[in-house]
Structures are given as C-alpha cells and as structure tokens.
Amino acid sequence: MTIADWPRTAAEPDPETAPPAAVSGTPKPVSRTPDIVSDAPRSVSETESGTGTKPSEGKLTRTQKWTAGAIVAAALALAGIGLYLSFEHVAQFAFKELRFSSLGKGQLFAVGVDVGIMVMIAVDLLMAWLKRPISWIRYPVWLLTAATVVLNAASGAPEGSWKLLDYVAAGAHGVVPVLFIMVVELGRTSIDRVVRPDQAERDSIPWLRWVLAPVATARIFRRMRLWGVTSYPEMIRRDQELIAYEQWLKRKHEGDLSEASEEELLPMRMAPYGYTVAQALAMPDEQERAAQEREEEAERRRLDAETRSEVAKAKSEAERLRAKGEVEAVRAEVDGQTGQARAHARAQVSAAERAAALEQEALDQALIAEARTREAEAERKEAQERQAKAEADLRAAELEHQAAQKRKEAAEADRIAAVEAQAIETQAIAEARRAAAEADKAAAETERAAAETRRAAAEADRRKAEEERRQAIALADAARAQKEAAEAERAAAETRRAAAEIERRAVEAEDAAKLKPRERAVRRVARMILVAADGVADRLPLADIQHELGVASPSTASEYRQEAAELLAGGYRP
C-alpha cells in the first residue's frame, strides 16, 4: 500500500466548499483513492453548501419591490424617531454638563453626531450595494451610537442615589438607537446577499459541541477562521479524515509513528495550516513538479538569453563591419587625396632633381669611367672565386651521395632484422593469449557454476520467505476475523442491552398509564418493528409476532402489526 492508498473516512467532501488557498500556489488535491469500507455510515450529513440553498438570482418582483420600499420607509421612520428622541436630551446635556457656551452650540453638537451617524450608515449601505463593502465603517457607527445612548442616559440621571426605575429609564434611552443599528445591520446583510449571492457565509459551530469538547472545538474554530473554511460539515469531514489517516498510519507502523517517513507525517504537520490529508500527501509531488517547472523555466530563460546574446553579437558584428566599411571608404578617399598631393610634390622634386642631375652629369663622366674599370676588375675576381666554390660544392655533393647510399643499406638491414624479431615475438604472444583464453574459459565455467548455486540458494530462500509471509498473512487474517467477530458480538450485545432497556422503560410507562393488554401488545409489536425491522412494519414476519405474543392465529398477528404501524405513524416512540 502506497502513501496515497490510505483508507477513506465515512464523510465525503462538501462539493460546494472550496479548499483554502495555499501559499505560492496552493497544492491541488490528489485523485481520489479507493474506499476501504464502501458501506460505512456517514457521520456528518452532507449539504449542498455551507450556507444552504443559494438565493435565486434575477430582478425583484413587483411585490418584493413594494415590500422593500415599505421596509426602507419604516427604517427611515425609525431613524427619525431616534433622532427626535435623542436630539433634545443630547443638546441639553452638552450645554449643561459638557460646558458648551450656548444652547445653540449644544444643538449643533447633537445634530453633528446624528448626521455623522446617518452619513456613515448611508456610505456603508451604498458601498455594500456597489459590491465594495467597507468593513471597518460599522465600528465608528456603533461607537457613536453607544455615545448617544450614554449621553441620553446621562441627561436623565437623578442627582442622588439610583433606583431600579432609574436604571430602567436609562436603558430605555438606548432601545431605539440599538434597534436602529440592528435594522441597519440587517439591511446591510440583505443587500450583500442580493448583490453577491455567491458570497459564502461561514457556518456556526453548534453550542453543544462547545460544551462537550471545548478544546477540540476551539481548534476547529481557529482553523475555520484562519484558513477560510466556511462549511462546518466540511471542517468535521477534514478532522475525521485526519483522525482516520493517523489511525491507519499507527496500524501500518504497529503504533510507533517515529518509524513513519517525513512524507507520511505531512498530513498531521500541515493540518493546522488548513491542508487536507489529500493536499498534504500531494505536496511532495507538487513541489517536485514546481521545481521541475522552475528548472525548465530557468533553462528556457537561459536559452533565450543565449539567443538574445547571439543576436546582439551578430548585430554588433554587423554594426562593426558597417562602421569599418565606412572608415575604409573615408580612408580610401583621404588616401586618394593624399596620393594626389604626394604625386604633385614628387613631380616637383623630380624636376628639380633632373635639373641638378644635368648639372652634375658632366662632372661625373670621368668618375664613371674610372668606376667602370674598377668594377670590371672586381667582377673578374668574383668569377674566379665562384668557379673555385663550384668545384668545392661538386666534391661535397659526391661525398654526401656516398654517405646516403651507406645509410640506405644500413636502414634496409635494420628493417629485415626488425621483421624477423617481430615474427618471433608475434608467435610467442599468440601462444600466451591462447593459454590466457583457456584460463579465462575455465574461470568462467567455475563462476557460472557458482552463480547457479547462488541462484538456487536464493530461490530456496525466496520460497521460504514467501511461505513465512503467507503464514503470517493467514495468522493476521484469522486474528482480524476473530476481532471482527468479537466486535460484532459486542455490538449485538449492546443492541440487545439497549433494546432491553427500551423495553423496560416502555413497560414501566405502560404500567404507569394502566394500559389494557391489547394496547400493551400493540406497543410491544411497535417496538419490535423499530428494533428488528428498522421501522418498516411489512419487514416484521408474522411468525415472530406469534412467537413473541403467544398468538396462534396469523390474522390476529396481522391485526397487531397493522395497529402498531398506525401507532408508529402517529408518532409513537418508546
């Protein structure tokens, strides 16, 4: 059994109640697991939603409009009465006790308080009508209303000691303002339900549960308020589901929860935070899925960044090449202009040089003839030196050719010797490899025999473990069957004891009422129908009635059963 295959509780989830929102994407519920006990009785009655049926949507009818108008008119009349009753008392009290300089200022104070209350009430009702309620605006209204009640009571306070009627009179001053606030709150709630029919209303916890289990009820109340669970049956279902899971976990680990894994303990640890058992068990998968999605998103962003970087590099390279081309074009243009200037300058310099050369040419003729003579002599000596060098190079080439021939012969001899040595070495290696292969084959045969032996031993151990496991399961099933039989016997005994107690009380009541024997017999049959036939008269066999009452005729037993059915239909319960 896996973690998600824990047994379900008797109560099913409320379909209209949404689970609380979790942090950072709250986890979704896992798929429903199969029920272990399909016919378990439901411990919490299911409702369509936490607040009952939804109000019908649509426009108001003519009668509803007239009724709403009458209610508004009555509320305005009640407000006018409250303002009228409190105005004079508050003005007098402000003038006398609060030390306003004049009665007119005291009256302005009373008007300001009443007008402030009416303005805040009107704003509250308007915002509720516009589906934008302001929750805190009601508290100043309550505070100012309480202040007017106190001021009205203080204005009629006696000088000496108070009597009972004085307290009654002081309390009477607050009846109309408090009644008006109640009417306003009722109108605000009505408007909220009309304009927001899908707004969930929080269920109240039964007071009897507060009395019977105050600590557990306080925990349930805290979880409902903290995590937005509006349905009390849904909260009870979650609590039962958590208790059932904890019991299942104890049975799985034989009562030692310290052996449970961290994932198995998640439902108990996350329950105070509004998670159901299914949501808590789904958390690891959801977190792994979220982590994988984050990794995929990070990888996608990285690839996008690389793509953007490559695109930016390509654009930058294109811009660089474009700029380089522009620079080359400008450089070519500048070089052309510079070349033209240089050519012009060279032309001028060349003309000046030619003029100077013509002037020096005559002077250089003698020097040129002498230089040519010396050059011819130098060339003759250089030719002799080149001839001697060529002869030396020829002799060196012959010597190098002879040395190369000797090296070739030595290399050929080395190659033949290497081939012979390699042939000898290859035969020895082949012999060694053949011996090693035979040794490996023998070792493989030995290893295969050992593996076969180990496999046979493992198979024997597995069969033995399987037999022990079947024996353990058989013993566990026998123990479970004995336990279930004992539970059934105990439940039957409890049922018989309850039936005997009901019978005893019924007999005492009949004795006290001094009923006739036939009436007693009819009531006895009615109790048999309730206990043995689940309240259905036709399911009670006539033979049982004859045996229980000692009646010989089936028709008489049928009459008793008919009268008992009529008695039950009339509301009789022992």
Tell me, what's the pLDDT at 9?
Answer: 45
- Mean pLDDT, rounded, for 371-383: 74
Contact 200, 230 (CB under 8 A): yes
Contact 102, 95 (CB under 8 A): yes
Question: Alpha carbon of 359 to those of 130, 352, 355, 363, 368: distances in Å?
Answer: 115, 11, 6, 8, 15
Q: What is the dihedral of CA 234, 237, 242, 243, to 10 degrees?
A: 150
Contact 234, 17 (CB under 8 A): yes
Interval 320-350: pLDDT, tens: 888 888 888 888 877 777 777 676 667 767 7
Residue-wise burial string across 92-127, b where 16 or more C-beta atoms lie within 10 A, e elsewhere: bbbbeeeebeeeeebbebbeebbeebbebbeebbeb
Contact 146, 213 (CB under 8 A): no
Between 267 and 421, the more confident residue is 267
Decide: pTM greater than 0.85. no
Interval 66-75: pLDDT, tens: 888 888 888 7
Q: Can you tell me whether residue 247 is helix, strand or coil? A: helix
Confidence band (pLDDT; 50, 70, 90) for 296?
A: very high
Contact 237, 44 (CB under 8 A): yes
Between 508 and 257, the more confident residue is 257
Q: What is the dihedral of CA 179, 181, 182, 188, to 10 degrees?
A: 150
Contact 114, 85 (CB under 8 A): no
Q: Residue 215 and residue 209: Cα distance in Å, rounded?
A: 10
- Mean pLDDT, rounded, for 229-243: 88
Contact 272, 223 (CB under 8 A): yes
Tell me, what's the pLDDT at 301?
Answer: 92
Range among 137-146, 203-212, 374-383, 451-460 with highest mean pLDDT value = 203-212
Percent of the chain past pLDDT 70, that is, above it, reads 79
Cα 311 → chain centroid: 39
Contact 271, 30 (CB under 8 A): no
AA identity, residue 365: Q
Residue 36 has pLDDT above 60, yes or no: no
Question: Alpha carbon of 544 to those of 555, 566, 567: distances in Å?
Answer: 13, 19, 19
Residue 500 has pLDDT above 50, yes or no: yes
Q: Residue 20 and residue 23: Cα distance in Å, rounded?
A: 10
Question: Alpha carbon of 382 to those of 334, 368, 390: distances in Å?
Answer: 50, 20, 12
DSSP for 321-357 reads HHHHHHHHHHHHHHHHHHHHHHHHHHHHHHHHHHHHH
Contacts of 159 (CB under 8 A, 6+ apart): none
CA angle 326, 328, 332 (to 5 degrees): 120
Interval 77-121: pLDDT, tens: 877 787 777 777 777 777 766 767 677 777 788 788 778 888 888
Confidence band (pLDDT; 50, 70, 90) for 58?
A: low
AA identity, residue 371: A
With 0-12 / 13-18 / 19 or more C-beta atoms within 10 angstroms meaning exposed / middle / buried, residue 87 is middle
Confidence band (pLDDT; 50, 70, 90) for 1?
A: very low
Contact 155, 144 (CB under 8 A): no
Tell me, what's the pLDDT at 41?
Answer: 36
- Mean pLDDT, rounded, for 14-26: 41
AA identity, residue 486: A
Interval 414-466: pLDDT, tens: 777 677 667 666 776 777 777 877 877 877 788 788 778 878 878 877 888 88
Residue 37 has pLDDT above 50, yes or no: no
Tell me, what's the pLDDT at 168?
Answer: 74
Q: Residue 203 and residue 52: Cα distance in Å, rounded?
A: 10
Range among 79-93, 148-162, 273-287, 476-490 with highest mean pLDDT value = 273-287
